Amino acid sequence: IEYSPNFGFQLNGKKVFLQGIANHTDFGGVGVATYRTAIERQLRQLKSFGFNAIRCAHNPYPEVFYDLCDEMGFLVIDELVDKWSNDGNCWGGRKSFMYVWPQLLTEWVKRDRNHPCIIMWSLGNEMQHRENASGYMTGDWGITTFRILDTYLKRYEKTRPSTAAMYPARANGIRRADPGFREISNIIPPELSRITEIASYNYEYADYQRYKEYDPNLIIFQSEASVNDLITPYLRMDKSSTVGLCYWGAIEYWGESDGWPKKGWNYSFFDHTLKPYPRAWLVRSCFVDEPQVHIGILEGKQKSIIWNDILSGRAEMSHFYWKPNKGDNITLEVSSNCDEVELFQNGRSLGTKQNNRQDDKAQNKFLWEDIGWQPGKVIAVARNNGKEVARHELQSPGKAVRLKAEIEDEGNWYADGMDLQFIRFTVVDSKGEPVDNFKGNLAIHIDGEAKLLALDNGNHFTDRNLESATTSLYRGGALLILRSTRNSGTVKVKASILGIKGSELLLKTK
């Protein structure tokens, strides 16, 4: 691995731009419990959408996570802790972090240093905005603390560079709420970021060019990018000379809720069952080179909050092509990395739109507003140089008739007492089209060599216990997570719901 202010990051002599995620250690319905299957499932989904990097925020992950990243080719920024707290703030231990850090740092680096997936050590997060998060109270925004921690780190491992992520603040701890934040004279990189080997900034991508002008030796990494800004943070980075970026909270996670009954963070590209929201496909249109197009339906206004001085949020969108009354107007937002997209409704063209690659807030986004809804089909056809290269269609559903079951990894379920099986249930019509607005309660009965670990409908606002064998449907479906016993054998799963045909499955563990 190589780093430089000129090329950012190279792997085996080839330029690689990190397309990453920064999230808490959270694996949906299993929570923070360590199940290899759950971690591998999450990594597979991320890889299919073009993600190649993970920043462990803000603590080391389970050992098996690094094993899987080694195997699957993910690049990892391994992070020790959130802030260097000496007063209990952002630190849950019984003793001050500043008292126990030598033991923790030693255990961490010795455990992880032989994993080739790790390309960077991060010693902290959200530095440079308040003195009590700077560790030793030396009045220099944590510079002395970092040098002490980094010297200790390098006693055990010198092959990767080290960093600490900056809060979205300027030199001298100037924050957004402070006067003069946007004045050019104050757009100066935080002092701490100028002495770390990699300059890691949470957000503030619009200032990276000026930071670089101030200090040409900076090797810049966007340690957190906002999902609210969609692909703009990616497009605005100088990918030839910077390391890459990691989207904060790209997958919904438990905790950091902004109000009951919400259970956590849901301003994301994927829900906590790993079902992609439509704008996950917008990100994929940048991260994956193959031509693609995807239709989303705008259901409501953008929901946003100010979090750590950054606007975060997402629009309410779905893939569900349905409205209660013929003639209701809908708005379709299509994402594509192609030159142009033509939209058809029941065979009639609604026009062709060009990809506005000159505007980083409009690129790869095609909007059709106030379209009169009709039952039937909408098709988006994407073209490059006038030739069709991709298409996506949505069909309005009929009456709900049955419960469809999709087993995610049938045939590879082991009787070791820890292996998981994921089964997604969806209400569909007679042609197999999802009926997202179907309301009802799903009941699960399991018999054989497995136990119910979680029944998760994907709704962050649910008041139901995920360990219950019943749940209300959300967007017409739910995800069942089963845990094998230590005895190989059969597992019978019966799923029932009032008013439609249920589903019965026979699985085997080996």
Average pLDDT over residues 39-59: 97
Q: Which CATH class is domain 2-276?
A: alpha beta
Residues of the chain with CATH 3.20.20.80: 2-276
Can you name the CATH fold of 402-509? Immunoglobulin-like (2.60.40)
Q: Could you report the per-residue pLDDT of 142-157, keeping only the tens digit for each?
A: 999 999 999 999 999 9
Q: Is 261 within 8 Å of 461 (Cβ atoms)?
A: yes
Q: Kindly report the average pLDDT of the chain as a whole number.
A: 95
Pairing between strand 53-56 and 14-15? Answer: unpaired
Query: Which residues make Cβ contacts (< 8 Å) with residue 240, sequence separation at least 6?
Result: 7, 8, 15
Q: How confident is the model at residue 206 (pLDDT cuts 50, 70, 90)?
A: very high
Average pLDDT over residues 197-203: 98
Q: Could you report the per-residue pLDDT of 252-307, keeping only the tens digit for each?
A: 999 988 888 889 999 999 999 999 999 999 999 999 999 999 999 998 777 777 87
Residues of the chain with CATH 2.60.40.10: 287-395, 402-509
Does the pLDDT at position 311 exceed 90? Answer: no
Q: Other CB atoms closer than 10 Å to residue 498's CB: what's the count? A: 9
How far is the C-alpha of 461 from the C-alpha of 440, rounded, in Å? 16
Q: Give 324 or 486, the one with higher predicted confidence.
A: 486
Q: Could you report the per-residue pLDDT of 180-196, keeping only the tens digit for each?
A: 999 999 999 999 999 99
Average pLDDT over residues 85-103: 84
H or E stretch covering 269 = none
Does the pLDDT at position 203 exceed 80? Answer: yes
Left, alpha or beta for 194 (phi > 0: left; psi -120 to 50: alpha)?
A: alpha
How far is the C-alpha of 126 from the C-alpha of 164, rounded, in Å? 8
Pairing between strand 293-307 and 310-318? Answer: antiparallel
Cα–Cα distances in angstroms (integers) from residue 73 to residues 10, 43, 52, 283, 481, in the given order: 14, 10, 7, 20, 26
pTM, two decimals, is: 0.96
Q: How confident is the model at residue 119 (pLDDT cuts 50, 70, 90)?
A: very high
Does the pLDDT at position 88 exceed 70? Answer: no
Residue 248's pLDDT is 96
Per the listing, tokens 């994993």 go with 115
Nearest to 60 by CA among 127, 136, 122: 122
Q: Where are the alpha helices (DSSP H) in 443-488?
A: none
Can you name the CATH fold of 287-395? Immunoglobulin-like (2.60.40)
Average pLDDT over residues 394-410: 96
How far is the C-alpha of 337 from the C-alpha of 391, rounded, in Å? 12
Residue 95's pLDDT is 87
